[in-house]
Structure formats: C-alpha cells, structure tokens
Amino acid sequence: MIRIARLVRELNEQFDIAFVCPADVQSDDLVEHWDVGKRLTRVITVPMVRMPAEQDAWWGSTFSCLSAAIVTSFPGQRPRMLDVAWSGQMIDATRHLLREFDVKAVWATRSWTAEMARAAGAKRIIVDVDDFQGAIVLKELDESPSYKRKALHRIQAKNLIRYERHLLDRYHAVAICKEEDAAFLDASAPERIHVVPNGVDIPETIDRSRFNPHELLFVGALSWPPNVEALRYLVEQILPVIRLEFPAATLTVAGRGPVPDDVRSLLAQPNVDVHESPLSLADYYSRAGIAVAPLERGGGTSIKVLEGLAYGLPTVATPAAVRGLALEHEKQLLVASSPREFAAACIRLLNHPAEAQALGEAGRREVTRRYSWQAAGVRARAAVDRVISSPASVS
C-alpha cells in the first residue's frame, strides 16, 4: 500500500488521476483521510471481494484446482490464481471512468488489477510488478513436503511463470522494481520495460538525543515467515557471538504484529525488547547503533534496509536482504553471508564508531539519490509519458 500511495502522489505532480481500488471504506472516507485524496480528479472505492472458498483455484475444491491447472495451461489465459479478488464492480467502475474521462493510460498495481483494467476496455496499461510470483511459488513448492494438491499447484505455478514472462504480450508496459528483473521478461521491446524502484521517505532531521551505540535494531513484520526465520538466525547464531565481545549489546525488534507465540518465546530473553505495531519507527531508527537484516529468503525489495539507511544507520545485511538493491558492500553497508561473518561485521562497527558513522552517512546519501520516492516518481512519470506517446494497441 505504501508504494501505491507514494506513486499516486508522485504521478499527480504531472498528471490528473482518477483512482479506483477495492477497499472496505467509503470513497469519501478515503479522500478525507488520505493526504493526496483531495487533489485527485476522482476517487472510487468498491467493496472487497472474497471468493467462495470452494472456488479458490489454489486451496478450493480439487475440481477448482484441476480446472485452473487445465485452463491456464493454454497460452493467453490469465492465471486463475489471480481471480481471488476478481470484482465485477471494479471492472464496471473502471469502465465508467474510461467513458467519462479521456484516460490516456492506466497504471495498474499488480497483474490482477491489470487484468480487470483490460476487461474494462483500457487500451494503454502499465502493469506495476513488485515481484514476479511464479518463481517464488515454485521454489516454495520444491522445498515443501508432499501433499494432495501439490502436482496441480506446480502446474499452476509454471503457468504463472509463463504468464509473467509474457506480460508485454498483454500490456503496453511493465514497471519493475529491480534492474535484474528485466532479464526475466521475454522482451523484444526493452523500451517498454521501466525500472521504478521502491522508495522510502527521507527524514530531513534525525534526533540522536537517545542514541545508543550498542543497540542493534531489527525491523519487519513479525509474523512473516522469512522475518521469523531471520530472527531465529539472529538470536540463536549471531547475537551470542556478538555478546562474547560486547556483553552489553542489546537487540530491539519492532514491526507489525501479531507476534506469534513461538516468536515471543524466542525473544523472551535479557536485553531483547519487542515493540509490536508501533505507530512510528522513527524513534527506533534514530536511537539504534546498527540496523541488522539477516534475511535468508524473501521476495521484493527490502524496504526496511532502505529505511534504516535513510536515517543514516550503519547496516549489516545478508545477500538476500539486499537483493536487487544497487548498494555496495563496504561502501554503503556491510554484507555478510554466514552467522560468523554477520557477527564479525557487527563487532567491527561496534569497535569502530567513526567507521560506522561514515558508513551510515554514505548509505543515507545513496538512498537519497536512488531510492527516495521523489527519485522513483521521476521514473514513474517518464514511464507514463512514454506510454501515452505510443500507439494504443499491443502485439
């Protein structure tokens, strides 16, 4: 949701925007509580759709799962996995806006909303892909134990990969978050691929009045499995090594709840503080000495790495945590592949505060240059300009 809200704000700097989305709030309420809402040409919300469980292409009946696997095996079919939130009301609302206004282009967040815009008759569609899901799903299936529908799920995952690879056959342009994702697309027209990275809000001032150089900070959704694994990795294998040299080292964990019972038990130890769903993370970023991101897996962009660096916080991360980020080891942060390397990197920064400060400042400069929402907005507006100036049909 943050990406959507920030890109709408940035696109609205140049373009008039009519905004339609599924949400369980009234349009007037969204306008009232959204800082950009009053500046938009039109805001329409439609009720969230929840497909009956038995019709779910993934976890529904065996017949639904089998039908989805068969149907999406044919080229040109949308994956039925995308139909979980399929909304006739949203299609009708989009069709109405297309008739009412001279809509030059549609920016669709994710493939499932792009499919509804396509069904409404939109001609120039930019589909914004935060991450390609097919390969992620297939990898998870490969690593999971056997179960009844697994073979059907593998077929659907492979069909989703094929669909995502050929998005440019269905849409005018694709916006991706990472340069490396361009290689995934079957693109005979690279000019139709636009890199619009995720961004962060850059704080103008940072309050260091409560700065604690020995405080490690982990930020992330506390029930998301990759974060849970990262916390276990941190608490069981990394933190004990750090405390051999720095017994006073503390760990602060902050992020959206709920906190699962096993995570709460894991973190129930001295000098580890847990903050569930804080209203703001600014105080934690300003106070900590080091940000740690020990993720071993996960898709998308690690926004929390960027946020910490935006606060000038020296950061230690695993390769998985910085995947797709144009940040360099030893220049803007430290990258460590093993528990021993990770602990050694943290100890190094704790032992050399001047180096830690310089690294954090370099990270802040680079994130400001490349990953502010203003920088992302420049790229998003350029993508829309190119789409508007192109013919109204795709191959």
Judge whether residue 387 has pLDDT over 90. Answer: yes
pLDDT digits (tens, 9 = 90+) for 178-221: 888 899 997 778 899 999 999 999 999 998 889 999 999 999 99
Query: Is residue 392 over pLDDT 90?
Result: no
Domain range spanning residue 12? 2-199+374-388
pLDDT tier for residue 1 given thresholds of 50, 70 and 90: confident
Confidence of residue 274 (pLDDT cuts 50, 70, 90): very high
Cα 175 to its chain centre, rounded Å, is 13
Let me know whether 113 and 17 are in one domain: yes
Token representation of residue 385: 């300009």
Instruction: Report how far apart, in Å, the C-alpha atoms of 384 and of each of 59, 75, 102, 390 are.
Output: 37, 28, 15, 10
pLDDT bracket for residue 390 (50, 70, 90): confident
pLDDT of res. 299: 62
What is the count of structural domains for the chain? 2
| Residue 176 domain-assigned (yes or no) | yes
The average pLDDT across 224-241 equals 94
Residues 250 and 365 grouped into a single domain:
yes
253-273 confidence digits (pLDDT tens): 999 999 999 999 999 999 999
Question: Quick one: 245 and 189 in the same domain?
Answer: no
pLDDT of 297 above 90: no
Q: What are the Cα distances from residue 266, in Å, to 115, 160, 242, 292? A: 42, 36, 17, 17
Compute how many other C-beta atoms are within 10 angstroms of the C-beta atom of residue 327. 21
Residue 175 lies in a domain: yes
The CATH number for 232's domain is: 3.40.50.2000
Residues 160 and 67 in one domain: yes
Same domain, 241 and 307: yes
Give yes or no for residue 395 having a pLDDT over 60.
no
Q: What integer pLDDT is reported at residue 88 of this predicted model?
A: 94
* Residue 395: inside a domain: no
Residues 109-160 pLDDT 10s: 999 999 999 999 999 999 999 889 999 899 889 989 999 889 999 999 999 9
In whole angstroms, what is the distance from residue 220 CA to residue 218 CA? 7
Is 258 a domain residue? yes
Mean pLDDT of 337-342: 95
Predicted local confidence at residue 394, as pLDDT: 60
Distance of CA 71 to the CA centre of its chain: 29
Over 70: is that where the pLDDT of 26 sits? yes
The pLDDT-based confidence of 171 (bands split at 50, 70, 90) is very high
% of the chain exceeding 70 in pLDDT: 98
394 within a domain of the structure (yes/no): no
Domain assignment of residue 299, yes or no? yes
Same domain, 350 and 383: no
Average pLDDT, the chain: 92
> Do residues 124 and 390 touch, judged by C-beta distance below 8 A?
yes
The CB-side HSE value for 354 (13 A sphere, CA atoms) comes to: 0
Query: And the tokens for 18?
Result: 């009519």
> Which pLDDT belongs to residue 354?
96
Q: Report pLDDT digits (tens) over 42-92.
A: 999 999 888 788 888 888 888 999 999 999 888 888 999 888 889 999 999
Q: 215-219 and 193-195: which strand pairing?
A: unpaired
Sign (positive or negative) of CA dihedral 296, 300, 303, 309: positive
Q: DSSP H helical segments within the chain, as ranges?
A: 2-11, 27-33, 62-71, 88-100, 110-119, 133-143, 150-165, 225-233, 239-245, 261-266, 282-287, 303-310, 339-351, 353-370, 373-388
Residues paired with 95 in a beta bridge:
none
Which pLDDT does position 186 carry in this prediction? 78
223, 194: one domain: no
Give the tokens for residue 389.
Answer: 């100036």
pLDDT of res. 322: 92
Return the amino acid letter for 239: L
In a domain, 43, yes or no: yes
Residues 109 and 72 in one domain: yes
The H helix count followed by the E strand count for the chain is 15, 12
Q: Are residues 282 and 358 in the same domain?
A: yes
Claim to verify: residue 308 and residue 181 sit in the same structural domain: no
| Assigned domain for 210 exists | no
| Contact predicate 197/376, CB 8 Å | yes
Q: Are β-strands 42-46 and 18-22 bridged in parallel, bridged antiparallel, or unpaired?
A: parallel
- For residues 20 and 155, state if they share a domain: yes
Q: Helix (H, G, I), strand (E, B), or coil: what is residue 167?
A: helix
Q: Is 204 helix (H, G, I), strand (E, B) or coil?
A: coil
User: Residue 117's pLDDT is what?
Assistant: 97
Whether 39 has a pLDDT exceeding 70, the answer reads yes
Question: Are residue 126 and residue 239 in the same domain, yes or no?
Answer: no
